[in-house]
């Protein structure tokens, strides 16, 4: 498949997997092995499961289905380390961490797991999506939904003599803390409108830094004292706060959504109008629509509506077919919006394009 990319380094999703797994009889046709699949692959540093699976399978995203992983295993996959060898058992139609014919699984009755290390679990394991690409989308409040903007605590004053605030500065905040001590500071940004309804469904947020509670408001006062703990951009009076998110999950397992998803591309986050491979986009569907971390969708270019001047009854408007042009991997999910990394693409992706359940 021809790849359209504006990023020179190839970035793909990594996940952690189980060992000897038979192909279910009901496996979808798209999860078949490639005709030219290799006999084995030695895992090396920098490998990703997406790449490894792509060497064996026609469609790398569906490897959990082919390898028979259940929901619990998808949520809590095992680590895989450099040096392990993935074998293709052609006789039994399986992938294995044991050489075909060895005692480790020749009869195909045992389900083997990759070697686990009890010390420093995961330290040397194959990495997930490279942090340089998605860290800002994992740790910063880039999407503000519902009433979060109205109820978010806000900076009402700064330390005397300070107009633009930075690290270690003291700030005064008004609003409910609800027992939270660590916050991220943001500035409300542009509204995000649903491409279909044109209604505002969320707001982008400009991440400014973080702050920690120094002293909560005393009885009779509404003002809390905080200290700026990190600063990406200067803060000022009127900027808002959200609780710092929990540590993000970084090891993902691709899977089709449990229910049909028909989404549209909301935004492109590379500073341009079109997105290519290894770039991040948002879609107008989230957890309320059955999407979770690891959901994999097919991207489609929205077919244009044209004037058919060849119709015998006279010119008529007709819509051209939507054309599949890539794969989208979801790595962060909000209620109504999700972020995805474009894994493979043949044509540029733009706002309004489609993201659907794999066919």
For CA atoms 301, 1, 50, 141, the dihedral sign is: negative
Residue that wins the pLDDT comparison between 290 and 258: 290
Residue whose token pair is 């540590």? 247
pLDDT band at 81 (very low <50, low <70, confident <90, very high): confident
* The pLDDT value given to residue 130: 55
Model's pTM, two decimal places? Answer: 0.72
* The pLDDT value given to residue 248: 65
Mean pLDDT of 19-33: 46
**Residue 194: which of 352, 2, 26 has the closest Cα?**
352
Structural domains in the chain, sorted by start:
17-125 (no CATH), 142-243 (no CATH), 262-356 (2.40.10)
Residue that wins the pLDDT comparison between 23 and 60: 60
Please give the mean pLDDT across all residues of the chain. Answer: 77
> What single DSSP character describes residue 5?
B
């Amino acid at each position: 498949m021809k790849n359209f990319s504006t990023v020179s380094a190839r970035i793909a999703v990594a996940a952690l997997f189980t060992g000897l797994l038979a192909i279910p009889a009901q496996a979808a046709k798209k999860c078949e092995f490639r005709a030219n699949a290799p006999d084995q692959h030695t895992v090396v540093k920098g490998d990703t499961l997406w790449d490894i699976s792509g060497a064996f399978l026609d469609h790398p995203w569906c490897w959990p289905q082919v390898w028979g992983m259940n929901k619990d295993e998808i949520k809590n996959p095992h680590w895989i380390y450099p040096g392990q060898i993935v074998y293709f058992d052609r006789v039994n139609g399986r992938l294995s961490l044991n050489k075909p014919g060895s005692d480790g699984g020749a009869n195909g009755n045992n389900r083997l797991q990759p070697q686990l290390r009890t010390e420093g679990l995961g330290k040397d394991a194959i990495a997930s999506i490279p942090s340089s690409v998605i860290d800002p989308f994992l740790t910063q409040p880039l999407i503000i939904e519902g009433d979060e903007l109205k109820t978010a605590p806000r900076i009402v004053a700064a330390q005397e003599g300070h107009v633009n605030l930075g690290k270690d500065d003291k700030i005064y905040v008004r609003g409910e803390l609800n027992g939270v001590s660590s916050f991220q500071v943001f500035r409300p940004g542009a509204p995000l409108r649903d491409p279909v309804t044109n209604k505002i469904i969320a707001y982008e947020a400009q991440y400014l830094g973080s702050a920690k509670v120094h002293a909560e408001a005393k009885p009779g006062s509404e003002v809390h004292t905080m200290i700026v703990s990190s600063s990406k951009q200067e803060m000022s009076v009127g900027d808002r706060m959200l609780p710092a998110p929990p540590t993000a999950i970084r090891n993902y397992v691709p899977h089709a959504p449990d229910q049909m998803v028909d989404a549209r591309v909301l935004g492109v986050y590379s500073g341009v109008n079109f997105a290519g491979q290894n770039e991040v986009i948002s879609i107008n569907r989230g957890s309320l629509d059955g999407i979770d971390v690891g959901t994999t969708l097919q991207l489609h270019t929205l077919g244009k509506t044209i004037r058919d001047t060849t119709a015998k009854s006279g010119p008529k408007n007709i819509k051209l077919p939507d054309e599949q042009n890539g794969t989208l991997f979801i790595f962060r999910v909000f209620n109504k919006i999700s972020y995805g990394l474009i894994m493979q693409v043949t044509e540029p992706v733009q706002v309004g394009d489609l993201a659907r359940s794999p066919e």
